Amino acid sequence: MADFRVPPLVRTGAGCARNTGQILAERGYRGALVVTDPIVAGSPAVRAVLDGVRRAGLALAIHEGITSEPTVEMVETALEAFRLSGADVVIGIGGGSPMDAAKAVAVLARSPGPLPLYEGVDKVPGKRVPLVCIATTAGTGSEVTRYVAVTDEQRNRKMLITSWQLLPDVAVADPELTLDLPPGPTVSTGVDALTHAIEAYVSRRRQPLTDTLALSAIRRIGRALPRAYRAPGDGEARSAMSLAALEAGIAFCNASVALVHGMARPLGAYFGVPHGLANAVLLARVSAFTAPAAPERYREIAVALGQPVAGATPEAGARAAVEAIERLCADLAVPSLSALGVAADRFDAVVESMAADAVASGSPVNNPRDATAEEIAALYRACH
Ligand SMILES: NC(=O)c1ccc[n+]([C@@H]2O[C@H](COP(=O)([O-])OP(=O)(O)OC[C@H]3O[C@@H](n4cnc5c(N)ncnc54)[C@H](O)[C@@H]3O)[C@@H](O)[C@H]2O)c1
Ligand SMILES: [Fe+2]
């Protein structure tokens, strides 16, 4: 048995976000709290979207306080802004950080806090405030997922909250909003999407509907991400990336992520490595570890990445997939952890705690190859 869920309205296409006001007015909302960050709020394309919402008759309160990946404190401040605003809908606009913060606000506005109460699976009670998520990266896919990732700084922990209550009512993926994204975040958010697709495709919780979406996302990303990296204004590549991030988001929402994501979150919590970059740093090595346990699956990934593996054994196909992932990451200049400034002495001191946290996150149980804490620590070291 498998269940498959998506938000009731998923809107895609170049320029589509400009009609968001119409959707909100049709539903009878009168005021919105917009949760975002200062860079996104300053983007002319985003301003045009918000002007459209105003023109549709809604009062807007704009909260730009999500200045990095969200923390419990940032969510509490945004919640205060919601209470002061009198809004009846929350709009998260930006990358995964503002969208996740908006989801958390929509929950806490109707249920008692603090947010860490809801860490884990299906802990979120009752109702939430109506929620619209508009992506400006391609990307986390948060606009179509049931997840929120928020750092609890007191515990050095990137919490994962999983609940169907977190699936937005409206998801918008408009490639025009991603045209301003510089090459660095284009790569890190794009490799995050690729990781979602690969992990969903090999996950022990995969299902036929997620397979189709995951392979389509891998195909699109393999072709479009190098183009979007080299030529940020390439509208065709941005459209492909925007759709791919959405497909990958739907896929992993319904099939889960696995070992790479389990290992990425501690890198964020201990060293502040941004989520997409953490996945990017780990993806090739962890794929090399996992591929021998699911060679047929990785051979299909090789095909999706354009490798000539027709007639190859599954094992040879899987090796070709790992090599293609390595080449793609090299082409996109994905750095090592040491190149990112993760100091060797601090890294050695916490690598075992990070491995324990990765295991405790629950994501590695979805990986087709089981990994012990020692093997995870060795993988971290290989990526330093
Ligand atoms: N909920 C989910 O399903 C899910 C999935 C994956 C990741 N996440 C979480 O999402 C967060 C990361 O999100 P992200 O990778 O999208 O990064 P982000 O939201 O932190 O944005 C990264 C940077 O890009 C900038 N930016 C965003 N859009 C821009 C645009 N169009 N033009 C110029 N600059 C722009 C932002 O201002 C920021 O500086 C992490 O906390 C991660 O754990 C959530
Ligand atoms: Fe991710």
Q: What is the largest CA-CA distance in the chain?
A: 63
Closest C-alpha to ligand 1, atom 23: 185
Residue 172: its H or E element:
strand 170-173
Confidence at residue 157, expressed as pLDDT on a 0 to 100 scale = 84
Residue nearest to atom 42 of ligand 1 (CA): 275
Closest C-alpha residue for ligand 1 atom 18: 95
Q: Give 53-78 as a DSSP string.
A: HHHTT-EEEEE----SS-BHHHHHHH
For residue 228, give the ligand nearest its CA. Answer: 1
Which amino acid residue places its CA nearest to atom 13 of ligand 1?
96
Residue 114 has φ and ψ, to the nearest 5°, of -75, 165
165 in ligand 1 pocket by Cβ < 6 Å? no
Pick the atom of ligand 1 nearest to 69's CA. Answer: 41
Please work out whether the CB of residue 181 comes within 6 Å of at least one atom of ligand 1: yes
Instruction: Tell me how far the alpha carbon of residue 363 lies from the centroid of ligand 2, in angstroms.
Output: 12
Copy the structure tokens of residue 180: 């301003």
Say how far apart CA 106 and CA 83 lie, in whole Å.
11
For residue 148, the ligand 1 atom closest to its alpha carbon is 1
Q: Kindly give the residue spans of alpha helices, DSSP state H, lying in the chain.
A: 20-26, 38-41, 44-55, 72-85, 96-108, 183-202, 208-230, 235-255, 259-271, 275-290, 295-304, 314-331, 344-360, 373-382
pLDDT at 211: 98
Q: How far is the CA of 137 from the centre of ligand 1 (A)?
A: 6
Q: What is the pLDDT of residue 158?
A: 86
Give the number of the atom of ligand 1 that is nearest the alpha carbon of residue 39.
Answer: 37
Taken in order of first residue, the domains within the chain and their CATH numbers are: 9-178 (3.40.50.1970), 183-382 (1.20.1090.10)
For 336, counting Cβ atoms within 10 Å of its Cβ (0-12 exposed, 13-18 middle, 19+ buried), the class is: exposed
Tally of CB atoms within 10 A around 381: 14
Query: What pLDDT is recorded for position 126?
Result: 83
Closest ligand to Cα 141:
1
pTM of the model: 0.97
243 residue type, one letter: L
Ligand 1 touching residue 357 (CB < 6 A): no
Pocket lining: 168 vs ligand 1, CB cutoff 6 Å: no
If one residue of 69, 157, 256, 260 were mutated to test the ligand 1 pocket, choosing by the most ligand atoms within 8 A of its CB, it would be 69
Name which of 29, 276, 43 is nearest 141 in CA terms. Answer: 276
User: Is the beta carbon of 275 within 6 A of some atom in ligand 1?
Assistant: yes
Q: What is the pLDDT of residue 202?
A: 98
Tens digit of pLDDT per residue, the chain (384 long)? 999 999 999 999 999 999 999 999 999 999 999 999 999 999 999 999 999 999 999 999 999 999 999 999 999 999 999 999 999 999 999 999 999 999 999 999 999 999 999 999 999 988 899 999 999 999 999 999 999 999 998 888 889 999 999 999 999 999 999 999 999 999 999 999 999 999 999 999 999 999 999 999 999 999 999 999 999 999 999 999 999 999 999 999 999 999 999 999 999 989 999 999 999 999 999 999 999 999 999 999 999 999 999 899 999 999 999 999 999 999 999 999 999 999 999 999 999 999 999 999 889 999 999 999 999 999 999 999
Query: Which pair of structure tokens corresponds to residue 225?
Result: 């991400």
> What spacing in Å lies between the alpha carbon of 276 and ligand 1's midpoint?
8
Q: Which residue has the tokens 């090595």?
A: 285
Contact 185, 148 (CB under 8 A): no
Any atom of ligand 1 within 6 Å of the Cβ of 177: yes
Residue 139 Cα to ligand 1 midpoint, Å, equals: 7
Q: Which residue has the tokens 């009731």?
A: 8
The protein residue whose alpha carbon is closest to atom 17 in ligand 1 is 95
Pairwise CA distance, residues 165 & 175, whole Å: 26
Contact 270, 153 (CB under 8 A): no
